[in-house]
Amino acid sequence: MLKALGKHLLAEFYDCDQSALDNVEYVENQMNSAAIISGATVVKSGFHRFLPQGVSGVVIISESHLTIHTWPEYGYAAVDVFTCGDHVDPWKAFDHLKTVFGAKRTVTDEFKRGNYQAIGISENAPFKVEAI
């Protein structure tokens, strides 16, 4: 198994609840909840609602970040969940967001980031993320 510093999920959510994707407060609350559910430590978040529609935002976590860009008119959202460390599970964040946005279809890829071997880190080296 390839050991890496982090996992990065790139998720496509289709056929979502259009009103949910256009509500900036709802999107921000659910993205923060997803981070907490995954086991991450939320540092800060910033979200913006575009006119006439759409939301973009980021949740900065001690372990990296979650981002979203929505196209309510298409019922579509693009979501990134990038987490570092073994105590955070990005798939829990994915499952939560899929449910709360009512996605009927998803396509997701997972990438390992910071390959230990490529960086020159021993496979036995401990990895810690500390909240500040």
Cα distances (angstroms) measured from residue 103 to each of 54, 87, 112: 16, 26, 25
Is position 48 annotated as part of the catalytic site?
Answer: no
Q: Name, in order, each residue with C-beta under 8 angstroms of 52's C-beta and a sequence gap of 6 or more.
A: none
Burial class (CB in 10 A: 0-12, 13-18, 19+), 97: buried
Catalytic residue among 8, 16, 38, 84: 84
Is position 19 annotated as part of the catalytic site?
Answer: no
Is position 69 annotated as part of the catalytic site?
Answer: yes
Helix axes 90-100, 24-38, angle to 10 degrees: 150
Catalytic residue among 16, 38, 64, 96: 64
Catalytic residue among 45, 62, 69, 87: 69
Residue 67 CA to residue 112 CA, distance in Å, equals 17
Catalytic residues: 64, 69, 84
